[in-house]
């Protein structure tokens, strides 16, 4: 099989860029809706903030794994 196309150079940053798209959207949704929820029901601030941070931590983990991967898999 002949080689049709090849990508060379520093692919790590490109990989990180791709890995950051999903969590970026996710974190935006989480905080957007969190702020909206607080605005609608300020008395539930404690519960909302705690769940907001929880969701943020879970979404952010993906981006951080994407950040570490280029260092590990050189």
For binding to other proteins (CB under 8 A), which residues are involved?
Answer: 46-47, 50, 53-54, 56-58, 60-61, 64-65, 67-68, 71
From CA 48, how far away is CA 53, in angstroms rounded?
9
Select 1 or 42, whichever has its Cβ closest to other proteins: 42
> Max Cα separation, the chain?
65
Of 22, 44, 47, 49, nearest to 34 (Cα)? Answer: 49
Shortest distance in whole angstroms from residue 54 CB to other proteins? 7
Shortest distance in whole angstroms from residue 40 CB to other proteins? 20
């Amino acid at each position: 099989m002949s080689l049709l196309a090849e990508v060379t150079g520093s692919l790590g940053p490109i990989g990180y860029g791709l890995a950051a798209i999903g969590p970026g959207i996710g974190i935006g949704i989480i905080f957007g809706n969190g702020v909206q929820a607080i605005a609608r029901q300020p008395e539930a601030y404690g519960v909302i903030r705690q769940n907001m941070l929880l969701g943020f931590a879970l979404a952010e983990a993906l981006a951080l794994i994407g950040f570490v991967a280029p260092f590990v898999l050189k």
